[in-house]
Amino acid sequence: MSFGTVGDCSVRSRVILWALVIGAGAAVVGGCSGDSGSLRGEVSALKQENQQLKEQVEKLSSELRPLRAKVDELDVGQRRLEGTLANARKDLEARVTDMVQQEVSGRRGERRFMPVAPPPARFEEKPYMGFDGQDIEPDVAKLLNLKTKTGVLVTDVREGSPAAVAGVAKNDVIVGIGEAEIKNFQGLKEALEGKKPNDVLTLTVLRGDEKVAMKITLGARRVRVDE
């Protein structure tokens, strides 16, 4: 086998060296191309994020505009109110100063009166029986199956009252006081005129089909008397 001359070996060596250099350069260029593509992707993503941030900022700015306008309006209203209050304060101070000066100088010319206390209230003791009643109406008489159309129907008796002590009960019908016949509530009031607390009266009531006579001692009720 022949290896050729020294010159041939030198040429062959140069060819091999250039081949190695070109291969290494291609590898480097290929690697750089891959890195460049990755960088372009990152730059594109950053641009998209930047655009989204810009859109969000613009949206927030548009939402804040009405709020800024409202704040400005409130500021204007506050300044107006402060001005009104300041004017009112000045006017009040001027009025008070004028009143004091007139009082001191005696120019008001008004007579002064001492306040007069109202007279004390007057009370009287009125006779008191202690029940509520009403005139007998046709529908009520029918509902309660009453045997009379006249008198005073007892609708309530207060516990411990003179009427309760005497034995008056709810739904009794008062038809007489002493010798007086009672036909309605007005007649009952008239029969008590002139009577005083602690007077003893004979009360006649209709209870069902039976008339019941009972003694009642009138109580006292303090009533204010207007002048």
Q: How confident is the model at residue 20 (pLDDT cuts 50, 70, 90)?
A: low
221 closest CA partner among 149, 125, 101? 125
From CA 115, how far away is CA 197, in angstroms rounded?
39
Same domain, 88 and 183: no
pLDDT per residue as tens digits for the range 177-226: 999 999 999 999 999 888 999 999 999 999 988 999 999 999 988 878 76
Same domain flag for 147 and 213 = yes
Does 107 share its domain with 51?
yes
Q: What integer is the mean pLDDT of 83-100? A: 83
Judged against a pLDDT cut of 80, whether residue 110 lies above it is answered with no
Q: For residue 21, what are the domain limits?
A: 1-112
The four Cα atoms 91, 93, 94, 96 give a dihedral, to 10 degrees, of: 120
**Residues paired with 212 in a beta bridge:** 205
Q: Stretch 44-55: mean pLDDT, rounded? A: 85
Q: What is the pLDDT of residues 147-174, one digit of tens each?
A: 888 999 999 999 999 999 999 999 999 9
The residue with tokens 């060596």 is 13
C-beta separation of 191 from 185 below 8 A:
no
At residue 166, the pLDDT reads 94
Portion of the chain with pLDDT greater than 90, in percent: 30
Within-domain flag for 117:
no
Same domain, 65 and 1: yes
> What spatial distance separates the first Cα and last Cα of the chain, rounded to whole Å?
159
pTM for the whole structure: 0.46
Number of domains in the chain: 2
Domain-located, residue 24: yes
Cα–Cα distance between 163 and 217 in angstroms, integer? 8
